[in-house]
Amino acid sequence: MKAKDNPFAVERIEAIRYRLFNTTFDRLLARLHELNYRAAITGPEGSGKTTLLEDLQEALEHKGIRTHLVFVNDASHFDSPACRRLLAELTRDRILLLDGADLIRRSDWSLLKRHTITHTYGLVITSHRRGLLPTLIECSTSPALLKDIVAELLPQGRTIPTEFLDRLYERHHGNLRTCLRELYDLYTQEP
């Protein structure tokens, strides 16, 4: 199968937005307001933290709250000079949305956490671990969520056996990103 036809191609996966469970965006925004716009989206790898942060950005901007979204990942290597450059860019009218806060060095995180109290409208981070900031929401996955997403990505009339998806979910310890990558590889074998 050609990459562009693969139902699990990155662009198709990225088009799927975060599915809130037992809450709504309005409630999430109200909770964020209560937390004075300083909060963390936590959860394990592949649980949708980045997707939710992007969706939160859209919801905040829609309400007229300006944001500044920064991704910290292995590729971007957020070192101390990069941290200081970011601090210099911050403005009081924007919320800093920081994806991957737990990848920042401890000393840089302390500086950033302190600096953003007075130099930004707020700070919302994603993190694998709890405790960096009050938790806004804890992301999680389930086999049912994987099945739901897979059903949305597959062309009409195509299915993947439930048992296969259950085993896939278990093998990847609930990491939906790596589950979907494996499904991509599986589909490359299709004619």
Partner 1 sequence: MDQLSIVLNEDKAAFAPRETIRGTVRWSLDVGVRHLELSLFWYTAGKGTRDMGVVETVRFDEPGAIGWKDFSFALPDGPYSFSGKLISLLWAIELTCSPGSETVRREITLSPTGREILLGTHR
Residues at the site binding partner 1, with contacts judged by CB under 8 A: 1-4, 6, 9-11, 181, 184-185, 188
- Specify the residue, 140 or 188, whose C-beta has the smaller distance to partner 1: 188
Closest approach of partner 1 to the CB of residue 33, in Å: 27
Nearest CB to partner 1, comparing residues 87 and 186: 186
Is the C-alpha dihedral spanning 64, 60, 13, 16 positive or negative?
A: negative
Q: Pick the closer one to partner 1 by CB: 89 or 190.
A: 190
- Give the number of other Cβ atoms within 10 Å of residue 9's Cβ: 18
Q: Nearest distance from residue 66's CB to partner 1, in Å?
A: 17
Residue placing its CB nearer to partner 1 in the complex, 39 or 168: 168
Q: In whole angstroms, how close is the CB of 121 to partner 1 at the nearest point? A: 24
b or e along 53-82 (b: 16 or more beta carbons within 10 Å of the residue's beta carbon)? bbbbbebbeeeebebbbbebeeeeebeeee
Residue 146 to residue 177: CA distance in whole angstroms = 10
Q: Tell me the closest approach of the beta carbon of residue 181 to partner 1, in angstroms.
A: 7
**Please, which residue, 6 or 67, has the CB nearer to partner 1?**
6
d(CA 10, CA 13) in angstroms, rounded, equals: 5
Q: Report in angstroms how near the CB of residue 8 gets to partner 1 at its nearest.
A: 8
